[in-house]
Structure 1
Amino acid sequence: MKRIIYTLTLLLWVQTVFATEIETRSLDELYAAAIAEGGEFILRAGGDKADQADYYLDMFKARFPKIKVTHGVDLSFYHASRYDNTLEKGGKVNVPDVLQLQTLHDYDYYAERGLLETYKPKNWDKVFPDYKDPHGRWIGLFGVSFSNMINIDVINKDEAPRDAIDYLDPALKGKVVLVYPHSDDAVLYQFWNLKEKYGWEYLEKLVATKPTWVRGTSMPYVAVNNGWYGASFTTSWAFVPYPNSDARFMLPKEDYFLTWFQVAAIPTHAKNKAAAKLYLNWMLSKEFQGKWLQWPVRMDIKVPGGYKPLREYNTSPADFHRFMLKRDMIERFRLQMEQLIGPIEGVSPLEMDYSKKP
């Protein structure tokens, strides 16, 4: 009897989860629904520079001018902990309509507790399978790779470091800026993979070159773009160079590199769910995907800059997700990096003066 009850319960759960249909409404129809709901939208986006979401939010606001957008950019683990505190109070106030985080393990945590809305935006079926929850509880919006960012006015393009060994070149002394790996899980993942391939000795040699260490993955791209430094591998940049900029993004020749997809979900306690659905659908539309600076999340959208599809490169967003779930291992390695490099110094990246060389 117990087995029968268990089987029926499981079948009911499966039926409920997989009954979620893909959105069929157009963006204009979703826009009308969001206006009727109240026309407000609250986004909490992971990042380490206040204007980091402006690129896509400015487009969203221009496309849907009647939606009042309130957003905050902060380190993902702070957004998650604030949401946790809200849940402790019953989830009645300060609940964002969309949580958009880099800390992928948080989605597993929230999904297991029934705290994420089950929803599949339009074009859900066009998103790479590894970049979405099969039940519709979270979905990737855009892909980000950390790899070599070079200023070709500081370092000759033909001599630019591409693989890890290149960063040990004495000619780069004083020209490299890196993020403290123990301050950011994505950078920590990069260093973990360097250790796995080249051994602990490589990390010691890299630290011995005395790169400039900074907090926040935004400072390296600002610093390299401004020509204050010549190279970094702990940041991201557009595949297509900006006009009048000497900054170039270069993938490794042989080494593995980091890629993840910034993920979003609608909390079950969200107030403005129609606006949240509008946002997710617009982010997966051709309007946005065709303008993203790096990897589109959709299989049918061409990668900018003449790059090949992501699957043809030595990178794995799914492996980064697996890494993020291994919290015990991460915390042990984080402390190892602190012992090797030293404690994190400097103000929060959200409070940095980006007009000054670090």
Structure 2
Amino acid sequence: MRSGCWFLLPSLTLAYPYFHDGSAIQPDTRSLSEIYHAALKEGGLVTLWHGGDEKNQQDGLKLAFEKRFPGMTLNVTVDLSKYLDVDIDEQLARKSLYVDVAMLQTLQDYPRWKEAGALSPYKPIDFNTVFDQIVDLEGYYMGVRFFHWPMTWDSSRVKGSGPTGYNDFLGKDYKNKLVLTYPNDDDAVLHNFNKIVQEHGTSWLDRLLQQNPRWVRGTQTPTDIIVNTNSNQTATFAAFGPFGSSSLKARVPIKDHFTSWAQTGAIFTEAPHPQAARLLMNFVISREWQQDLVENGLWSVRKDLSQPSGYNQSLLDMQNTDPLGFRDFMMDREMVERLRFWYEERLGVAKGLDPIFDNM
């Protein structure tokens, strides 16, 4: 991983001369049991690369999948999406792919992989229950999980009921108390900061910097730091929310824009375990798994499930978030690069341990 053999990338478009027409593909008509037994017959193994910034972030998925399908092994690797896609490109160029499924934040990768013939069209049994706006209608890729950036704080150390918008973080109670992820190190964080500055102006950023926030790498790192009682930091935003701490509270802004997106999954044409890959894609959009996500405060990609507690609209219907806008943002790589350097000039190059290896 992370070898980044860039000179191989231009050959990707020639590696798979594949003319796709998935328009006639229908959702899998087999039962889940039939797909499961086909996966067992194939060897009972599926390799997933999932975007994230802590090694254990998908342990819950691995546990649930292997419990639901005895005899199956989910070999899951979590790393930053911006690193995983480079390694996948290299494997594709070398024609030595060993990854079956990728579920990444780098949404710009999927259309180009599709055009290169690197993706295998497949529609899970419940394909039609997923919001149309976050799937490739030909079945080459689909949103499998919604993520969003809430505001998070330690209620035992923050006065009152907590922040309701980004201007609250400019108050005196948050001086030297904020821990934030470098926006120039993560595109989803960059998107959130960009929206804040669009709404509140560059003066907001100037005032935020006067609060002397602690800047870190990784989007789980801020909450890991806050739950450490020896830490001076008590709040964050544009980062993952609570992970099992009773004193941590989270909410999305009442009016301000917050970033959300559909983490997108696809099966590769040369996947070594195509049946197991299909089983996994069925599981991650299943009512069983998606309902578990809802009960843990996340929105579902399914149209037929309710919203997480405290909310009555899907992310696609809310006025102050736009998962599709995030997708468009990720597609404009020239703009993203300009923004990244704009923040880097103000904050400096992202410093600190790689979050995958920081043991937090």
Q: TM-score, normalised by structure 1?
A: 0.90
Conserved in 1, the CA contact under 8 Å of 2:62 and 2:76? no
**Which residue in 2 is equivalent to 1:258?**
259
The residue number in structure 1 matching 2:11 is none
Q: Distance in 2 between matches of 1:236 and 1:167?
A: 17
Number of aligned pairs? 335
Amino acid of the structure 1 residue aligned with 2:130: V
The Cα shift of 1:96 comes to 0.7
Question: For the residues of structure 2 that align with 1:52 and 1:208, how far apart are their CA atoms?
Answer: 33
1:272 aligns with 2:273: yes
For residues 291-310 of structure 1, give each alpha carbon's deviation from its aligned partner in whole angstroms, at most 9, with x where no partner exists.
01301100111223232222
Q: Deviations over 1:111-138 (max 9, x none)?
A: 1212111111111111111111111111
Q: Deviations over 1:45-94 (max 9, x none)?
A: 110000011122210111112112212110111111111111221x2x34
- Alpha-carbon distance in 2 for matches of 1:353, 1:69: 23
Aligned counterpart in structure 2 of residue 216 of structure 1, from 215, 218, 229:
218
Contact 2:65 2:74 in 1 (8 A): no
Name the CA distance, whole Å, in 1 between partners of 2:330 and 2:188.
Answer: 9
Deviations 1:180-226 (A, max 9, x none): 00000000001111121112221122112110100000111212334
Which residue is equivalent to 1:143?
146
Distance 1:32 1:317, change over 3 A: same
Deviation at residue 230 of structure 1 after TM alignment: 1.6
Q: Which moved more, 1:220-229 or 1:330-339?
A: 220-229
The match for 1:308 is 312
For 1:122-174, what per-residue CA distance to the aligned partner results, in whole angstroms no more than 9, with x for missing partners? 1111111111111111111111110201110011342x222121111122112
Corresponding residue for 1:206? 208
- Residue identity matched to 2:328: R
Runs ≥4 residues deviating over 3 A: 225-228
Q: More deviation in 24-33 or 74-83?
A: 24-33
* Counterpart secondary structure, 1:35: helix
Partner amino acid for 2:181? Answer: V
**Residue 27 (structure 1) aligns with:** 32
Write the distance in 2 (CA, Å) between the matches of 1:223 and 1:94.
Answer: 37
User: Residue 225 of structure 1 contacts residue 245 of structure 1 at CA under 8 Å; is this kept in 2?
Assistant: no
Contact 2:180–2:237 (Cα < 8 Å) also in 1: yes
Instruction: Please give the secondary structure, in 1, of the residue aligned with 2:253.
Output: coil
| 1:173 paired residue among 175, 178, 192 | 175
AA at the equivalent of 2:136: D
Q: What is the distance in 1 between the residues matched to 2:166 and 2:33?
A: 48
Equivalent in the alignment of 1:126: 129
Percentage identity across paired residues of the two chains? 34
Residues 307-336 of structure 1: per-residue CA shift (max 9 Å, x gap):
222223521100000000110111111011
Cα root mean square deviation, aligned: 1.6
Q: 1:230 and 2:234 equivalent?
A: yes
Conserved? CA contact 2:149–2:237, under 8 Å: yes
Closer, same or farther in 2 for the Cα pair 1:76/1:161, shift >3 Å? Answer: same
Summarize the alignment of residues 1-358 of structure 1 with structure 2, pairs less than 5 Å apart: 16-89=21-94, 91=95, 93-158=96-161, 160-227=162-229, 228=231, 229-237=233-241, 242=244, 245-292=246-293, 293=296, 294-310=298-314, 311-354=317-360
1: distance between equivalents of 2:219 and 2:24?
40
State the SS of the aligned residue for 2:121: coil
Give the distance between the partners of 2:313 and 2:63, measured in 1 at CA: 27
Letter in 2 for 1:63: R
Aligned counterparts of 1:332 and 1:180: Cα–Cα separation in 2: 15
TM-score (norm: length of structure 2):
0.89
Amino acid at match of 1:217: T
Cα distance in 2 between the residues matched to 1:61 and 1:353: 25
Q: Does the 8 A contact of 1:149 with 1:224 survive in 2?
A: no
Q: Please, which moves more after superposition, 223-232 or 270-279? A: 223-232
8 Å CA contact retained: 1:122, 1:284: no
Q: Counterpart in 2 of 1:4?
A: none
Q: CA deviation at 1:256?
A: 0.8
SS at match of 1:232: strand
Aligned residue identity for 1:119: Y
